[in-house]
Amino acid sequence: MSGPSMDAAVETGWQIVSRRRHGNRRSGRQQTPAIMASTAEAAIPPMMWDPDQGWTHKAEGHGKISLTAFTREEDLRKFGIRHRQVRPTVVSVVADSGCQSPIMGLSALYRLGLNKSDLTRIRATATSISGQKIEIIGIVVLRFSGRDKVSGKTVETAGQVRVAADVRDIYISKSMMIDLGILSKDFPSIRVGDDQKAATMAACKTPPAGDRAPCGCLRRTGPPPPPETLPFEPVEKNVGKMKEYLLDAYASSAFNKCPHEPLPMMKCAPIRIHVKEDAKPVACKTASTVPLHLREAVKAQLEEDVALGTIERVPIGVETTWQARMHVVTKPDGTPRRTVDLRHLNDHCIRETEHIVPPYKQARLIPAGVWKTKTDAWNGYHSCPLDKRDRHLTTFITEWGRFRNLVAPQGFMASGDGYNQTEILVVPLWV
């Protein structure tokens, strides 16, 4: 090695070492030189390149995502196979763009309520990334669904999932990732800067305009002032255009369903909880058990509600007085629904009763031959702030600690009264 190269090697502490691999002298084989890189002290540390920070020590494993796995009868009829139906079950899957076919291990198979006897043979082989053959025991035909946290829409895909004894996780394939919107349809392709953002927004069907929060969603803003004139003539042929105009104009305000930023609160007096003077606090000291296959999804829901500003962790040092228990049940699609048992609090509270015209009667009061619009408030109760003096009354215990509500809690009998009082102020009585 000469001049500059040797100097550079010395400065950085690296050296190029030439070694000879000793052959079999008895057989008379020639000794072949092998060149390898090494350090005088230790091997180099594993690092990754970050466009903003340069070389960093962070190590990213395979990305995991929670999906709901289930079966459909028409899929089994399609291939003429029979295996037990899989009820909707939340599973954690590995999103691996290098995976050509979905595959999972026996532990995942058993978790779905299936056994080896439910497997069907398939005329296919599988190899690992190192080229080693993977012994396929059989396949099951599964559907996977997931929900977009921003739009709230559910998307679905399906696959013949291979089952192998040596596989630990559930891996979904590249084509399934494209179906679910995890990868763009033109993957793999190189995109730079604004083109990359535009492609991502196009794949997610999100509006391109507007300032974006660090999470990638539109940053929450107040609603724009109403237009002085309608952008289109109010006739039936323009209904589609008007819908698109409204969705775009209020994308960052009324229709912003970002789960990573605090919810905007209604401008109203905070809701009070009136407890009877002779009431004795009731406190549950143990948490309800969360099924193992739902734990990851439930924990994510709690973290999402904390980010939205609807609940908070009870600070250390706060004594327990009133405390309910969180329970988890499954929805028809297999995803978890969290409920808090507030019956003891309900038994000792006094309501501020507020009546509104029932929705059925409101619909009947609409004159015939006119256009009407139906709306549904996203996190309606959660937009009603709860008075700071009463938040401790809503404390509930979970396997992840104690939480309490910052807004009107679901399951509390007076939440509806508080919401109706506020709604009357926001939406005038038009019936």
User: What's the DSSP call for residue 359?
Assistant: H
At residue 348, the pLDDT reads 92
- Residue 294 three-state SS: helix
pLDDT reported for residue 197: 46
Unique residue bearing structure tokens 């005088």: 40
Tallying the residues shown for the chain, one arrives at 431
pLDDT at residue 191 in the model:
62
Q: What is the mean pLDDT of residues 357-377?
A: 82
| C-alpha of 203 from chain center | 17
pLDDT band at 201 (very low <50, low <70, confident <90, very high): very low
If asked whether residues 295 and 418 sit together in one domain, one would say: yes
Same domain, 323 and 410: yes
Mean pLDDT over 7-19 rounds to 38
Q: Do residue 68 and residue 156 come from a single domain? A: yes
Which residue type sits at 224? P
Number of structural domains (the chain) is 4
| Pairwise CA distance, residues 408 & 272, whole Å | 9
Range of the domain at 94: 63-179
User: Domain holding 296: CATH number?
Assistant: 3.10.10.10
Letter for the amino acid at 92?
Answer: S
Inside any domain, residue 267: no
Q: What SS3 state is found at 401?
A: strand
Tell me whether strands 324-330 and 311-313 are parallel, antiparallel or unpaired.
unpaired
- In this predicted structure, what is the pLDDT of residue 242? 86
Token pair for residue 36? Answer: 């390898």
Do residues 384 and 315 touch, judged by C-beta distance below 8 A?
no
Per-residue pLDDT of 219-246, as tens digits, reads 888 888 888 888 888 888 888 888 888 8
Looking at the fold, whether 120 and 23 belong to one and the same domain comes out as no
What does DSSP assign to residue 328?
Answer: E
- Most distant pair of Cα atoms in the chain: their distance: 104
Per the prediction, the chain carries an average pLDDT of 79
Instruction: Report CA dihedral (362, 363, 365, 369) to the nearest 10 degrees.
Output: 150
> Which residues lie across from 311 on neighbouring strands?
405
> Does 186 map to a domain?
no
> Locate tokens 């030439």: which residue?
18
Task: Locate 399 and state its tokens.
Answer: 């396997």
Q: Are 70 and 129 in a shared domain?
A: yes
DSSP 276: -
Helices (H), 73-207: 73-79, 106-111, 174-179, 194-204
pLDDT digits (tens, 9 = 90+) for 35-82: 555 544 556 677 777 666 777 766 556 678 889 899 888 888 888 887
Place of tokens 């960052």: 252
At 2, the amino acid letter reads S
pLDDT tier at 430, thresholds 50, 70, 90: very low
Q: For strand 89-95 and strand 170-172, is the pairing parallel, antiparallel, or unpaired?
A: parallel
Q: Are residues 142 and 210 in the same domain?
A: no
Mean local confidence (pLDDT), 263-279: 88
* Same domain flag for 279 and 329: yes
Do 308 and 415 share a domain, yes or no? yes
What does the DSSP assignment read for 96-130? -TT-SS-EE-HHHHHHTT--GGG-B--S--EE-TT
- Shared-domain flag, residues 231 and 281: no
Same domain for 278 and 404, yes or no, is: yes
282 and 357 housed in the same domain = yes
**Tokens, residue 173:** 């394939």
Q: Does residue 258 form part of some domain?
A: no
List, in sequence order, every residue forming a beta bridge with 170; answer none if it has no partner.
93
The mean pLDDT of 291-318, rounded to a whole number, is 92
Least confident of 40-49, 101-110, 122-131, 176-185: 40-49
Question: What pLDDT band is residue 341 in, cutting at 50, 70 and 90?
Answer: very high
Alpha-carbon gap, residue 139 to 123, rounded angstroms = 10
Any domain includes 155: yes
Q: Is residue 146 helix, strand or coil?
A: strand
